[in-house]
Amino acid sequence: MAEFVVKANDPRLSYTGRIEIAPEGATFCWCGSKIYFGFKGTKVSIKGKNLNFGPESFIGAVVDGKELCFKLGGSCDFDIVLAEDLKEGEHEVTVYKRMEGHYFTISEIVADGELLPPKEKPKKRIEVYGDSVSAGSVVDAIDYIAKPDPEDHNGRFDNALHAYPQLVAKMLPAEVYDTSQGGIAIFDGTGYFEMPNTRGVESCFDKLRYSSYHPTSDWDFGFVPHVVIMAIGQNDAYPDPDVLKNEDGYERWVNKYIEIINAIRSHAPKSAVVLALTVLMHDPAWDDALEDIKNRLGGEGGRAYHFMYSRCGKATPGHPRYPEQIEMAEEMTAFLRTLPEEIWED
């Protein structure tokens, strides 16, 4: 079969997530961002460049349902053979941003045979603003279910595909943008993202390139979700674990949370907002604060909901592993199916 080369801005490619698409390449910035395409042929590879600002970095892919992982190491050019010696016929390929700590750019897709037209995307649209649980950090450390994280994991167990946002995308189904980053809290100067000069959701929610290790860029909010899941609060007790016990600290946090929601909703005014934490252990005071935020947003009459998992804050001292993420996804999907049908209408 004759080889063909596809550039990143080819309209037959299907993208999901905050991705910077230009003629020279598609840059994947946030976890779970992905490209999908189908082709007839026997071999497929991708070429591009990795920009690393973490200890290790990996790219994820799925070819005909088989999950694959490719280590990139540091900043480098790459030419990755995703699959070869495939049976002749139609094949499905997804390449996705598996983890945090880097951006990568796909400049070319090289395959034999022919590229197929893109599949239609799901009608329902969700965006998740979350931290490491929503990003799939340490999710594949299956031997550590209900235990603290293994030492020195350095990203090798991270896998956004196994985090509840991507699982909900399959179960509902929906198109999901996962705008999550490990360690992030609401405010700059709190949480763990980019220590010691930490950056919060307030500085990242409206960004495409959001890490200070590289020039940042604004997001155009071209993706308009029907539902916005806000899953922030796990990291906000650092460095002050008593922040919610102080009235001024409490009001400052709640008001900033609402301010960010309103800023997001200015681009998606009909969207419902679901406030949720996770099964990772935490002080119930943060769940109480989310309940307060829901009420201040007008509750269900204001399309604001507070969802609590059956084991919210109780299941594990470490990051939820794949089975626990499945548990979360099943419960979240069941809840989303109870929302009024008009929420999913454009």
Arithmetic mean of pLDDT, 239-244: 97
Radius of gyration of the chain (CA): 20
**What percent of the chain has pLDDT above 70?**
100
Short-list 282, 201, 217, 128, CA closest to 136: 128
What's the fold here for domain 125-344? Rossmann fold (3.40.50)
pLDDT band at 150 (very low <50, low <70, confident <90, very high): very high
Within the chain, which residue ranges are assigned CATH 2.60.120.260? Answer: 3-115
Non-local CB neighbours of 252 within 8 Å, separated by 6+ positions: none
Q: And the tokens for 191?
A: 């949480």
For 3-115, CATH number? Answer: 2.60.120.260
pLDDT of residue 1: 66
Dump pLDDT digits (tens) for 71-120.
Answer: 998 899 999 999 999 999 999 999 999 999 999 999 999 999 899 999 99
Dump pLDDT digits (tens) for 179-227.
Answer: 999 999 999 999 999 999 999 999 999 999 999 999 999 999 999 999 9
DSSP letter for each residue of 138-165: TTT-GGGTTSPPPTT-TTTT--GGGSHH
Q: And the tokens for 117?
A: 């037209």
Within the chain, which residue ranges are assigned CATH 3.40.50.1110? Answer: 125-344
Short-list 52, 41, 42, 144, CA closest to 97: 52
pLDDT band at 152 (very low <50, low <70, confident <90, very high): confident
Arithmetic mean of pLDDT, 300-325: 98
